[in-house]
Amino acid sequence: MGAILSKHLLLPVLVLTLCGLIVGCDNKAPSPAPGNEPPQEFKKERDTRFENYDESGDLSALKKRGSIRFVTLATSEEDLLPRAAIVTQLHYQLAEDLAKRLKLEPHWIAAASPEKALEMIKNGRADVFTGNLTRTEERAQNFDLTEAIANSRQQLVTGQNGPDVEHPDKLDNIVISIMAGSTYVATAQALKQKIPGAKLEMRELQKNDTVDQLLDNINRRKNVVTILDSNIVQGVKGYRDDFKEGAFLSEEEDIVWAMRKDSPELRLRINNFLTKKMVKAPTERKSDWASIKKSKVIRFLTYNGPTSYFMWKGTLMGFDYDLAIAFAEKHNLELELIVVPYDQELIEWLKAGRGDFAGASITITEERKARGVDFSTPYIEMAEQVLSNSAKPPIKTVQDLNGRTLTLRAFSIFESIAKALQDSGIQVKIELAEPEVSYEQIVNMVAEGELDATIVDADAAEVGAALREGLTAGPVVSDPLPQGWMVLKENKSLRERIDTFIKEFKASKQYAKKVNYYFKPDKAVSDKILTRIRPGEDLSPYDKLAKKSAQEHEFDWRLIVAQMWQESSFDPKAESPVGAQGLLQVMPRTAEEVGYPPPLFEPKRGIEAGVKYLSWIRERFDDDINLENRLWFSLAAYNAGIGHLYDAQRLAKDLNLDPNVWFGNVETAMLKLSEPRYFKKARYGYVRGAEPVQYVHNISKLYRAYTDISPGEVALRLRYVPNFTHIPRSRAPSMMPCNPLFWISRCESPVHTGFH
């Protein structure tokens, strides 16, 4: 899969005003407010908020500083879920590996466009541009460019009902819609001269323009075409088919990285690194160990799903994915990850030679072995459990299943378990869903009361019940069943190495952390609501710090405290298994991009980074979304990643829901993004939608408790917000009614908050 974001700016361009990233300024953080100093254990920690600097030297100068600054676009192609890619060769991972090889500390700087990124390099404000940049003669004259990392061609594209774009010479009276300032413009102008009656439409960049929005707009209009890079086209084809690709309009163009002119030492080291690191995925080869080692690539087949492989907060993760990455690294291999369509079997793809090993929480059964595969030693054992609708009589014991109905996923192990219950004398009715109905869809139907009960993996039952009020976990109905990876029977050498790796990994502390993270209910989501609140007392040990950051970014400080409790239970040393740090659990790369390099365990820095990131997210939504919903969207995006929120908005529109309203609309779409019939068409793929939905619910509930205002009064106050949605943001605070959700410190009249 090619990179999805290119120099043509068809993905979101985020106009940043982050101090220390785009312009030089004083980034020294203020001292803690009196009476709210950090605990003693943090006082020796240096405030390492990143302060940009001027440096125009070669590699030797970078080594004297001990750091290297990578500049990339504010969003990158890696914000898309890779469905078929050597994931260890994505730009971000390559840059991180390069920094390790050079023994330099990496710093990430976000720019609004390739032109701005290149300007920063030229002016000594960054060192290497690692985005998807096309080699041009002008760029080669002004910058040192690497050897080609990939290749791409400009390609004609239209909507699913658009004109015939395979034969440009047959087109007439079309509109060529092109992003202003992109390098497609020259190609479009040349094309316009050849097409009778053609018009050239220049689209100005918006703050959240995406390829998906461009294609959506083209689909709503007749006789409109656009131009995209072929690698963008291939990436988008991975999740949507409502457009037509056409003729190529250019020869192959090199995709490169850029650095300052006259940096021969740095250019040589980067080229040497990329030459060794960049390998091509094998089109056809055997899966024996010798062939794998020779190719330097190992291919892993999996599903996009809740425990195998997904994107969360912009980070690729999953139990199977994490283990596969670790196995590849152990053997100095690049990992090619191949996402198999949900309605197709991993076994068949494995037998067809499309991958070397496969796994996605697959239960080891004799029936599967009989189909020609071997299983690794089990990496986990999982029992099966009943999951039922909470509004119906509880199913606490196996006997409570008498007279009830279990609806089960077709062709699953659950059918044999349910039949064993019947054989034991339990009078339970078994209904098999249609083959196209997914596991996740059945769970959603149980939660919504459309179905009585089902059987799921025990981890799914516990997590589902913790996240959704409509679900209740019932009795365990099987012994723990082993799960593992699959290889072809003839690939004994590969299986032996996998077995050795799994045995070693299961004995590590890291294994236990991953099992708890992926398979156990998240207490940070489920158990943190409405702790005892006493009027007149501080809400947290960090109220003054929260007030300062909240005022700076125009939030109610009590909302930030509620979010802080949800994220970390006020533990400044909190760190998640995937690396989120501090009181507001900010991911390291995110913190870096908003000017706060990790670690974030010092309370002031952790709060400042989190609030600044929440503010950054809030600015990513259209102005026609009212302030209330922009806040809920921001919290959901903070939890799951903004890409999943964009996907939920697009799905809400398809479901005839309001894409600008969270409760009852976009939150409904977010829940449905756990179902393959929906997430296979989503840019960012699967999301455990119940988690951001519950996250927003919990914070809003705790926030209302903090403000000592009933839900009815909050709803009444929020009715005023839409009247002010078109007021310029610079004027809005002084003109807003005294709404407890927004700018409480700048209200013009007193508001009873409950606590002071």
State whether 147 and 158 are in the same domain: no
In a domain, residue 665? The reply is yes
State whether 320 and 181 are in the same domain: no
State whether 717 and 576 are in the same domain: yes
In a domain, residue 16? The reply is no
In a domain, residue 682? The reply is yes
β-strand pairing of 297-302 with 334-339: parallel
Instruction: Using CB atoms within 10 Å of the CB of residue 366, give its burial: 0 to 12 exposed, 13 to 18 middle, 19+ buried.
Output: exposed
Q: How far is CA 728 from CA 15, 107, 623, 624, in A?
A: 17, 34, 10, 12
- Alpha-carbon distance of 99 to 428, in angstroms, equals 60
State whether 203 and 271 are in the same domain: no
Three-point CA angle 286, 287, 290, nearest 5°: 90
Instruction: Using CB atoms within 10 Å of the CB of residue 44, give its burial: 0 to 12 exposed, 13 to 18 middle, 19+ buried.
Output: exposed
In a domain, residue 2? The reply is no
State whether 353 and 496 are in the same domain: yes
pLDDT score, position 47: 46
pLDDT score, position 488: 96
pLDDT score, position 326: 96
State whether 293 and 231 are in the same domain: no
State whether 588 and 611 are in the same domain: yes
pLDDT score, position 717: 33
State whether 466 and 326 are in the same domain: no
State whether 171 and 145 are in the same domain: no
State whether 459 and 397 are in the same domain: yes
The CATH number assigned to the domain holding 414 equals: 3.40.190.10
- Alpha-carbon distance of 220 to 175, in angstroms, equals 13
Three-point CA angle 540, 542, 546, nearest 5°: 110
In a domain, residue 654? The reply is yes
In a domain, residue 563? The reply is yes
Can you give the residue range of the structural domain that contains 325?
A: 289-380+485-519
pLDDT score, position 586: 96
Tokens of 615: 């503010």
Return averaged pLDDT per consecutive 10 residues of the chain, 756 residues in all.
30 28 30 37 49 95 96 68 91 94 92 86 96 89 95 95 93 90 86 94 73 89 92 90 95 95 97 93 92 97 94 91 97 96 92 96 93 96 96 96 95 92 96 91 95 94 88 96 96 97 95 89 50 69 95 95 93 89 93 89 96 94 91 96 94 97 97 94 93 94 73 34 31 34 34 27
State whether 435 and 570 are in the same domain: no
State whether 736 and 623 are in the same domain: yes
Q: How many folded domains does the chain comprise? A: 5
Beta strands in 163-278 (DSSP E): 175-179, 199-203, 224-229, 243-248, 253-260
For the CA atoms of 727, 733, 735, 736, the dihedral, rounded to the nearest 10 degrees, stands at 90
The CATH number assigned to the domain holding 693 equals: 1.10.530.10
In a domain, residue 17? The reply is no
In a domain, residue 262? The reply is yes
Three-point CA angle 474, 670, 684, nearest 5°: 115
The residue type of 567 is E
Strand partners, 238: none
